[in-house]
């Protein structure tokens, strides 16, 4: 599985496309993608997720976590199907790691 957090390009600002936080998930190596946003901000979202700001734990089902430049950390216990905010108001989250 592959997860990505797409952002607009530098020209208009690096924030989620259409201001909606979505993690896109592929189960087939990138041939097809599905948006996953249950529990994430659906509108007026302007945070950034840095390259090292997302990680997985390797459990079954896989846990996924990402941190934002606005100081939030979001976690999914079910391979990205749903999300919960674990922390907010932290300094910019530059990277995250998961341990089993």
Residue 41: which of 10, 5, 93 has the closest Cα? 5
pLDDT in the model for residue 9 = 81
Distance CA 63, CA 54 (A): 11
- Neighbouring residues of 8: CB distance < 8 A, sequence distance ≥ 6: 14, 15, 16, 17
pLDDT in tens, 46-97: 999 988 999 999 889 999 999 999 999 999 999 999 999 999 999 999 999 9
pLDDT in the model for residue 17 = 87
pLDDT in the model for residue 71 = 97
pLDDT in the model for residue 29 = 93
Contact predicate 21/4, CB 8 Å: no
pLDDT in the model for residue 27 = 94
SS (H, E, C) 4-70: ECCECCCCCCCCEHHHCCCEEEECCCCCCCEEECECCCCCCCCCCCCCCCEEECCCCCCCEEEECCC
pLDDT in tens, 34-60: 999 999 999 999 999 988 999 999 889
pLDDT in the model for residue 15 = 87
pLDDT in the model for residue 8 = 87
């Amino acid at each position: 599985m592959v997860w990505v957090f797409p952002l607009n390009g530098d020209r208009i600002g690096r924030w989620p496309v259409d201001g909606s936080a979505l993690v896109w998930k592929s189960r087939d190596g990138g041939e097809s993608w599905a948006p996953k946003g249950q529990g994430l901000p659906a509108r007026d979202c302007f945070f950034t997720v840095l390259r090292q700001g997302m990680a997985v734990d390797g459990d079954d089902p896989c846990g996924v976590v990402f941190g934002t430049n606005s100081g939030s950390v979001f976690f999914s216990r079910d391979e990205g199907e749903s999300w919960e905010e674990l922390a907010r108001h932290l300094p910019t989250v530059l990277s995250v790691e998961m341990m089993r």
